[in-house]
A and B are shown apart, each in its own frame.
Chain A
Amino acid sequence: MSASKTDWPLWEVFVRSRQGLSHKHVGSLHAADSTMAISNARDVYTRRQEGTSIWVIKAEDITASTPSNKDVLFDPANDKVYRHPTFYDLPDELKNM
């Protein structure tokens, strides 16, 4: 089997489904460069008008938090329930707040 000289890098694809919404991760694909990544993303992820704009980012350029950091990062928010409006017990007579 003739192996390719270079493996095409992996790109993560983000699509804005319509104006007013943010780009959302839809999947990934391989492409030699960013131009090809955009054009492949168009064919792979937007065959049915799913998007009005595409972002592609090389997967290796993304820094992600690791699952083992989950507690350190997200647990402290657990005991700060006063950040939620439902924390405040107010009289029923109070309307529209």
Chain B
Amino acid sequence: MTQQMDLNQRFEEYIALDQKIEAKDWMPDAYRKTLIRQISQHAHSEIIGMQPEGNWITRAPSLKRKSILLAKVQDEAGHGLYLYSAAETLGISRDEMLDALHTGKAKYSSIFNYPTLTWADMGSIGWLVDGAAIMNQVPLCKCSYGPYARAMVRVCKEESFHQRQGFQIMLNLSQGTSEQKDMAQDALNRWWWPSLMMFGPSDASSKHSKQSMRWKIKRFSNDELRQRFVDMTVPQAELIGLTIPDSDLKWNEETGHYEFGPIDWSEFEQVVAGNGPCNRERIETRVAAHENGAWVRDAAAAYAEKVADRESRQTSAA
């Protein structure tokens, strides 16, 4: 009992002193559970996030754009893998996490349940969705759990090209023909509000926020990060002559921030509950990829076993 108290006290001290918690350190069960939930959902988001963009790889307008998109989607796969590894240090297996994703037990970012209808959606995803992700992820580089923080450093380094390439697509379209400009505006109209929802429910109704901030997993509140994103993005839209689809949007000289209209949280709840435009398709595609790859995993395991067996027989013969 006293030993338990000592351990808890040491954990609290580490947190207070901004020291990192490492995989083998003692941690409260609730801290471990919170991290497993957050990191695995983050990993799932990266993996499911490959699909909306994968949709355009074969239809990219040039070889250069296709190479860039391929590299970006490959990065998302990499980010998913860094994060799955970080989650595994907490004692959950890769298979358990994948099962949770495939059976719908685990969530992923609801933004990926929206369809990618035009090439301008590739621009909007890079500019807005990756922009919002960066806003969320940069503070995670300083999160209290070492393996997660280190994975996020890698992710953030790679993510900035994603946002820049997206903005460049929007820039080029906005300088193009009137159809191209309309296409860019249409994509912005569809992605703007879902991007604001990426920061999660407002502070008042976010159920995990408070405890996560106390544990220094989370460093800023959902509303703070959302405001920063709006402040950063509005001038970028102005620069390329696109209009943010919000009639309430206005600059507040006094606060130094943009004020924006109310978010339709009922839409967010619907998408989280599984009723977004693409929820079913995303999971079906993921499950099919997993099942169709089973023979590859089995063959590789059988081959590794055969080689190991042969090597051990050679060793015993010698």
Contact = CB atoms under 8 A, between A and B. Distances in A.
Interface in B62-80: 71, 74-75, 78
Interface in A32-47: 32-33, 36, 43-44, 47
Interface of A: 1-8, 10, 27-30, 32-33, 36, 43-44, 47-48, 64, 66-67
A44 B155 CA distance: 11
Interface in B105-148: none
Given A28-B88, A47-B75, A7 B82 contact: no
Contacts of A1: 99, 102-103, 287, 290-291
Q: How large is the interface on B (under 10, 10 to 19, 20 to 34, 35 or more residues)?
A: 35 or more
Identify which of A29, A30, A66 gathers the most chain B CB atoms within 10 Å of its CB.
A30
Interface stretch (B28-36, B169-177, B292-300): B292-300
Contacts, number: 67
Contact of B303 (A4, A33, A43): A33
B290 A47 contact: no
Given A43-B78, A47-B78, A66-B24, A8 B301 contact: yes
Contacts of B71: 47
Contacts of B287: 1
Interface of B: 22, 24-26, 71, 74-75, 78, 81-82, 85-86, 88, 93-95, 99, 102-103, 150-151, 154, 158, 287, 290-291, 294, 297-298, 300-305, 307-308
A27 B82 contact: yes
A47 B157 CA distance: 12
What 10 pairs across the A-B complex have the smallest Cβ distances?
Answer: A32-B300, A33-B304, A32-B304, A6-B301, A28-B85, A4-B297, A2-B294, A67-B25, A32-B301, A44-B81
Given A7-B94, A29-B81, 4 more contacts: A5-B298, A5-B301, A44-B82, A48-B158
Contact of B298 (A4, A28, A33): A4
A95 to B, nearest CB: 38
A4 B24 contact: no
B297 A47 contact: no
Nearest to B98: A1
Given A1-B102, A1-B290, A8 B300 contact: yes
Contacts of A29: 81, 85
Nearest to B307: A33
Contact of A7 (B26, B93, B305): B93
Contacts of A64: 24
B88 A7 contact: no
B141 to A, nearest CB: 15
